[in-house]
Amino acid sequence: MISVKKLSHDFVVGKKNKETRVPVLKDIDLSIFEGEIVSIVGKSGSGKSTLLNLMSGFMKPTSGSIEIAGTDVTKLSEAQWADFRLEHIGFIFQSFQLIPSMTAYSNVELPLKIKGMPIEKRRKKVFEVLERVGLKGFEEFYPSELSGGQQQRVGIARALITKPSIIFADEPTGSLDNETEQEFLQFIQELNKNEGITFVIITHDKDVAKVAHRTIELVQGSMVERGELYEVQR
């Protein structure tokens, strides 16, 4: 599903005539298979978020390649990447990334509007997915009127609305209490088991990492696979 080869990335700091290159990722080789849950862990500054941004197309790597669902995405233009994300990838964020001026319904509907789906078809899909994540009756609530757990459910619904084959989750439980975190992790496992969605989870939380089939640790920009690091809870 995802193949990363010899991936390296440097950040450039300073002025053009005195710039310094700071290596963040170094020769990452990584394969993520269809239907896996993979957690990527590491200390702050280890390169976790950079790797996720590179695999999501929000940054261009300094060198190396990334192939997703048979497409070398490092060769895509920004417009092509936008279309590719809509077709293949969903996102779940720590801070939810909901638009505060839009209702739960409108936040979930947005990707379908961007795709140009007819309004009646959109409406049916949005109501279905909101019911699926336990938010039936909350369609017209704004983010500020929802609890943290409910906002994350809206985020999950938005990630699911385009039926992606891959979901990238960046510290998805960082704003949730323990009980809500466990509900979220159980839902991730159900989606993976019942629908075969591939999950890549960036986290520093060992409890979150436990839901993964494999754990990848980044240490100062280099990768260490630790399949035995956490016992998988299924």
Tell me whether residue 189 is in a domain: yes
Q: Please give the helix or strand (H or E) that residue 157 lies within, else none.
A: helix 148-160
Tell me whether residue 29 is in a domain: yes
- N residues, the chain: 234
Q: Please give the helix or strand (H or E) that residue 13 lies within, else none.
A: strand 2-13
Tell me whether residue 233 is in a domain: no
Q: Is the pLDDT of residue 5 over 90?
A: yes
Residue 200: both structure tokens together: 């890549």
pLDDT-derived band at 179 (thresholds 50, 70, 90) equals confident
Write the CB contacts of 121 (distance below 8 Å, at least 6 apart in sequence): 112
Tell me whether residue 230 is in a domain: no
Domain of 121, CATH number, reads 3.40.50.300
**Range of the structural domain that residue 37 is part of:** 2-225
Tell me whether residue 232 is in a domain: no
Tell me whether residue 71 is in a domain: yes
If we measure between CA atoms, which residue out of 160, 171, 212, 216 comes closest to residue 189?
212
Q: Output the pLDDT for position 13.
A: 84
* Percent helix, strand and coil across the chain, each to the nearest 5: 40, 25, 35
Q: Output the pLDDT for position 227.
A: 53
Instruction: Indicate the number of domains in the chain.
Output: 1
Tell me whether residue 18 is in a domain: yes
DSSP β-ladder status, 214-219 and 63-68: unpaired
Mean pLDDT of 190-214: 90
* Higher-scoring residue by pLDDT: 100, 221: 100
Q: Is the pLDDT of residue 229 over 50?
A: no
DSSP β-ladder status, 20-32 and 2-13: antiparallel
pLDDT-derived band at 44 (thresholds 50, 70, 90) equals confident
DSSP β-ladder status, 89-93 and 71-72: unpaired
C-alpha span between 215 and 230 (Å, rounded)? 7
Tell me whether residue 231 is in a domain: no
If we measure between CA atoms, which residue out of 57, 50, 96, 62 comes closest to residue 77?
57
